[in-house]
Structure 1
């Protein structure tokens, strides 16, 4: 045992049992804290387990977990930092080891695509095409994930037209009834992907290197074409408000002059309420979700939306209850006085 930087570094041999099964040892390694045993020792223990069970295709799962140690773990105080190159090596080993088309193989392929999409977008696309062709899982959820990855690659390349194409495919995902999964959890995940794709697209259109009018027109058209999505509408409104603030700031600092038509376009779009947007042709209404999109923009949850609807009606309801109470009180007092008068007369 070695003590280093306040961390107890255990030899790999102490992390493994010679008699335990592969599953038991893998589960045990998953419970280990990097800060306590050290990443190098943990990686060595995983490596020994892989070597010992080299003929077992499940060792690909262990390889994925080693890759995660090099991407997800960062402890500067222990001098532990991400190492994408080492992670990529283990991901490639996992792909080569796992059964082709299996969930582990798919997970490794998605991770590799994410690693290379900025440096080599064509290779990332080739990997996604390979997943679609060879995956045993032909679910609607998998296809939606691939579509969203295509959108992300296009955004990384700065091709917003292509990115919007993939975004629109996701926003209209349920137009084909065969894409609606029977499993509720899968449907919820697709809804999340769809909402994230729309939010990501609105953010990109808002920051696009285009004239203000073109940005506004593209945002408004996307909102109208898919008016069934309340989340898309809210993200579109946020993008339009941001553009309006940008215009106001430019005009205030006299950096740029905008024609009245441009200002009217923005204000006109902002004046439209959600009910008008929902009347536009588009996809079925998507469920609201409390989540953070891939662009980092929060999506308001259902409780917020409900409170926005109920809030303005509360004063009216309170006044109504108060009025009814006054009337009932007056009736009761009148009856008591009438009864007393009758008793006096008798």
Structure 2
């Protein structure tokens, strides 16, 4: 067993779980750690440690409370000590959508239909009390590509023109995200817990939503259907986008905005995954960049992205673009 954080046993004792068995769960790309608990009576729970100053569990608690109040399936909060970074929550089990689909590939369409329908329900609610997904935030995120990917490829690029191209491409969309919807921002197959067989219309559990903002309804669709961590067939992406459009009052420009936010998110992810390797020594994310890059290239082909596509043509060599962003060393 890996070393347990200081204060864990004290928190569990106060929460009434002092005698629980503790099983650490491997982490991902953040400072958060998770532990599965099993009580002597067979009951289970999940313990999240999001220690300040690197993490802050308060946004997670706030978004979980809001989602639950709106009838959506966030984990129940059993106990928390935010200053110390501890949150004890409901255990949704082991069936992450991504892992479950590895074992049940014939149920892929049903699983994605459930995920789309959950977004439709979320978007029917007025937006939660969260910060706005505004232009400075969009541009800060796209800037990760020029900040991390370009230097990793030893490219000299025009960063000012890059920012201006994104401003031109995204500006027409901003009015259409007012008043906006709650955007979970990391809504994909690794953050959806299946609480039963999706073919039976079983509910899904939401996790990893602490960075929620108020923005455009297309963003979480992009996150789901242009998944950085899992191949989503283009035919399935198209079918699920149509399913959303058939069930939501999306507007005439929705598909153009979907392309805008697809390119925006994928540019951000290329930068983040490069940073995870170059700064944090996590090479496994490099294997995902070609998938992300391919989706970004499809998005850039939309006329709404012409200013950004022109910048890529002028600043990123064709051999890199045609090779999934190229090898990063």
Q: Could you state the TM-score of these two structures normalised by the residue count of structure 2?
A: 0.27
Greater relative contact order structure (CA < 8 Å, 6+ sep): 2
Q: Could you state the TM-score of these two structures normalised by the residue count of structure 1?
A: 0.27
* Structure of higher CA gyration radius: 1
Structure with more of its chain in helix, by fraction? 1
Structure with more of its chain in strand, by fraction? 2
